[in-house]
Structure 1
Amino acid sequence: MPFSYQEAVSFYQENQKPVPENFIVDYIKWGGMPQRFVFDNESDTKKYLEDVFKGIVEKDIYKRDSEIEKYKFSAISGYILSNAGKEFSAENILNFYNQKNEGNKKTLEKKTIYNYIEKLEKAYLISRVKRFNISGKEILKTIEKHYAIDTGFRTLNTNLVNYEDTFFLENVIYNELILRGYSVYTGKTYKGEIDFVAIDGNKKCFIQVSYLMPGEETIKREFDAFKPIKDASPKYVLSLDKIDLSHDGITHINIEDFLLHKKDLFIS
């Protein structure tokens, strides 16, 4: 796994280097691959991550399976990584690929998509996330989302880093939860979904992730996502807001405080 946010901060401190201003934004965008912290500008960081990604693909995927169609694999991996955190749809990938390659007789099949996704997972480039039916208290078999092992790889495949869509933030939180030993799922309610259900043994908690909650409407949306849940397990909203917005038995935690272990989750 790449450096966690806490490990990345410690790297600077242990090497007697100042932690960059607003480092959380840099980490969300470029991730935690250890070697990338020796570079001082984004162009060098990007080049390094491109080389790492290419090396993994060449060594751990192409070299082990000579029958892979590299163009198709590149298109699928690029789509999966650029859409990390969004609901997975093989149909959307098919449409994306076939529109991009209109007139090309070598169309894409669903079995190829699933085959290449499995290879991305085995090469530790993505994680596959199943859905947890909260009312039924059961893990559903279908894969609902994928997250990048490192958000830097997502950035390489994304034209625009929009923090407000929360997918980058969700990716960071998902990786952190996995690092802390939780089993993590997306949560399904009868009215919608909860970003994460974090489980440890027979205990669990529910988590919503938001960028910022500048007004009552956003606060209400994030906190009201828990309304359909009758389960008494702890409920959390994680965001970059500095002010504690906890209310109605739902705990708000600042994301940076959580990543630095200044505040932790309680599960039951």
Structure 2
Amino acid sequence: MENLIYNELRMRGYSVDVGQVIQNTKNEKGISERKQLEVDFVCNRGQDRIYIQSAYALLFEEKTEQELRSLKQIKDSFLKVVIVGGMQPTFRNDDGILILNIFDFLLNRGGQNL
């Protein structure tokens, strides 16, 4: 699925990179920890930028949180998207992240200019 998304983004004229986000947290002992989170695709076209995570399915809360964690750490106003397999309805969550199924992405029916 990631290869399909990558190829589609390149056909749409984006330059595509992998991104890293730093998350500073404290563990149960109160010691600061620094974690690197990955963003599957950082897409740039002119002045437009889109951050995309790819997930085959978001069936469980912990998987959903894992996929959203890196996007929530990005504090700019560019579009953040999670593309999921299957026919899950497209919607925007409370954090403003667009959850888009793969078919709507490929048919460019996400309500956004991707």
Same fold (TM over 0.5): yes
The structure with the largest strand share of the pair is 2
Work out the number of aligned pairs and report it: 99
Aligned residue in 2 for 1:259: 106
Q: How do 1:22-171 residues align onto structure 2 when only pairs under 5 Å count?
A: 169-171=1-3
- Greater relative contact order structure (CA < 8 Å, 6+ sep): 2
Aligned residue in 2 for 1:208: 53
Q: How do 1:241-260 residues align onto structure 2 when only pairs under 5 Å count?
A: 241=86, 242-244=88-90, 246-247=92-93, 248-260=95-107
Matched, 1:219 2:64: yes
Unmatched 5+ residue regions in structure 1?
Answer: 1-168
* CA deviation profile, 1:62-105 (whole Å, cap 9, x unmatched): xxxxxxxxxxxxxxxxxxxxxxxxxxxxxxxxxxxxxxxxxxxx
2:71 is paired with a residue whose SS is coil
Provide the alpha-carbon RMSD of the alignment. Answer: 1.7
Counterpart residue identity of residue 189, structure 1: V
Unmatched 5+ residue regions in structure 2?
Answer: 23-35
Paired residues of 1:205 and 1:266 also in contact (CA < 8 A):
no
The structure with the largest helix share of the pair is 1
Instruction: Tell me how far 1:259 sits from its aligned partner.
Output: 0.7
Instruction: Tell me how far 1:264 sits from its aligned partner.
Output: 5.5
TM-score (normalised: structure 1)? 0.35
Distance 1:198 1:265, change over 3 A: farther
TM-score (normalised: structure 2)? 0.78
Question: Which whole-Å CA distance do the structure 2 matches of 1:208 and 1:265 have between them?
Answer: 16
